[in-house]
């Protein structure tokens, strides 16, 4: 006869873990709300005091601890992972005064972590624990204990950490993001911490992609249109800036040139840049994200933006083609 545990479908196993997360969410809304807020304030103060968050755990909890440390670091809270077994052989030197420790242990009785308690409490500013047993040795020794208990594990034997480690992971994510929100962490800050790979490309700043220096097409208001056309062709951006003493006075685009010839014929070439230019071109500052530049180009149906500083000095030109490599398009 097949017992209930062995008859669980894959969907049932996922539902068990989902139930564990719903139970955790309920505690965060209720009984655990105050303790969670305390944990957020402790982590926030640690960052303000230039301390670090040291996350530790053994076995599968250790793997979750590594991910939590990575999430904290990527959202602006300096964090590192400490292997508890290695800690007793010298790695405990990674913990410095001003640091706080987050310890993950389902039972709260993990021997390798308990051996660290005396040193952690002597050196670290605070100890936060993620435990399924809030009456455990680790929980009682902690400044803040966050309850990760689950109704049941997805493992049919109830032995392998499954739903409990899922709850730990979600709780760690919630803590990291709550802290980042409190400190006002922005997309620009996230971009600074992710300069490489596909994500880094998508979070690139305008300054990193723009044409600058001699690659920027520039003419003066008194420049004859024949010379304007030469500058536009030479720089190959389909436009040119018009400057007065280094400041942006306007731009002339291929479209402006085409409309001029349609309106006036060849006589239009006798005019000067100041007669033809668009006096109110769209601009952007170099510290803006490339994604914002793309939004502006799409909204205004234009292919380039002049990059300026707050005093309207020309710093560069960003063309739609420059955004292709970011994989935003």
Q: Where is the binding site, in residues?
A: 83
Nearest CA to 270 out of 219, 218, 227 is that of: 227
Put the strands of the sheet holding 314-319 in their side by side order: 283-284, 304-308, 314-319
* Six-digit token string for 195: 């300069």
Q: Tokens 């873990």 correspond to what residue?
A: 17
Alpha-carbon span 192 to 196, nearest angstrom? 10
Question: If DSSP codes are grouped into helix, strand and coil, which group holds residue 93?
Answer: helix
Q: Could you give the CA distance from residue 294 to residue 305 in angstroms, rounded to a whole number? A: 10
Q: Kindly state the helix (H) or strand (E) to which residue 102 belongs, with its residue range.
A: strand 100-105
Please, what is the end-to-end C-alpha distance for the chain in angstroms? 57
Is the distance from CB of 130 to CB of 172 less than 8 angstroms?
yes
Instruction: Give the HSE-up count for residue 51: Cα atoms under 13 Å, Cβ half-sphere.
Output: 20
Which residues sit in the known binding site for Zn(2+)?
83
How many C-beta atoms surround the C-beta of residue 85 within 10 A? 14
How far is Cα 327 from Cα 62, in angstroms, rounded to an integer? 35
Residues 74 and 65: their CA atoms lie apart, in Å, by: 14
* DSSP-derived secondary structure for 273-329: HHHHSBSS--EE-TTSBHHHHHHHHHHHT-SEEEEE-TT-BEEEEEEGGGGGGGT--
Distance (Å, whole) CA 21 – CA 19: 5
């Amino acid at each position: 006869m097949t017992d209930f545990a062995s008859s669980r479908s894959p969907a049932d196993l996922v539902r068990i873990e989902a139930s564990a997360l719903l139970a955790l969410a309920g505690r965060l809304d209720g009984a655990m709300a105050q303790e969670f807020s305390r944990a957020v304030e402790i982590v926030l103060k640690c960052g303000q005091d230039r301390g670090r968050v040291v996350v530790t755990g053994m076995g599968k909890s250790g793997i979750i601890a590594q991910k939590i440390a990575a999430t904290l670091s990527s959202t602006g809270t300096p964090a590192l992972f400490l292997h508890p077994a290695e800690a007793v052989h010298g790695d405990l030197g990674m913990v410095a005064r001003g640091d706080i420790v987050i310890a993950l242990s389902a039972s709260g009785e993990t021997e390798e972590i308990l051996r660290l308690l005396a040193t952690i409490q002597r050196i670290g500013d605070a100890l936060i624990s993620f435990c399924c047993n809030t009456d455990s040795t680790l929980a009682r020794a902690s400044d803040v204990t966050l309850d990760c208990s689950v109704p049941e594990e997805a493992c049919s034997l109830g032995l392998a950490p499954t739903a409990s480690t899922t709850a730990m992971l979600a709780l760690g994510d919630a803590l990291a993001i709550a802290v980042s929100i409190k400190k006002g962490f922005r997309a620009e800050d996230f971009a600074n911490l992710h300069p490489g790979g596909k994500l880094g490309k998508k979070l690139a700043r305008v300054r990193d992609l723009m044409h600058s220096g001699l690659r920027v097409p520039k003419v003066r208001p008194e420049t004859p249109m024949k010379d304007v056309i030469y500058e536009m062709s030479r720089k190959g951006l389909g436009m040119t800036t018009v400057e007065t003493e280094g400041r942006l006075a306007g731009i002339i685009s291929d479209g402006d040139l085409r409309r001029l010839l349609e309106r006036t014929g060849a006589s239009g070439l006798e005019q000067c840049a100041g007669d033809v230019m668009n006096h109110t071109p769209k601009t952007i500052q170099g510290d803006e994200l490339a994604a914002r530049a793309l939004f502006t180009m799409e909204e205004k149906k234009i292919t380039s933006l002049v990059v300026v500083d707050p005093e309207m000095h020309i710093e560069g030109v960003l063309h739609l083609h420059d955004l292709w490599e970011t994989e935003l398009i």
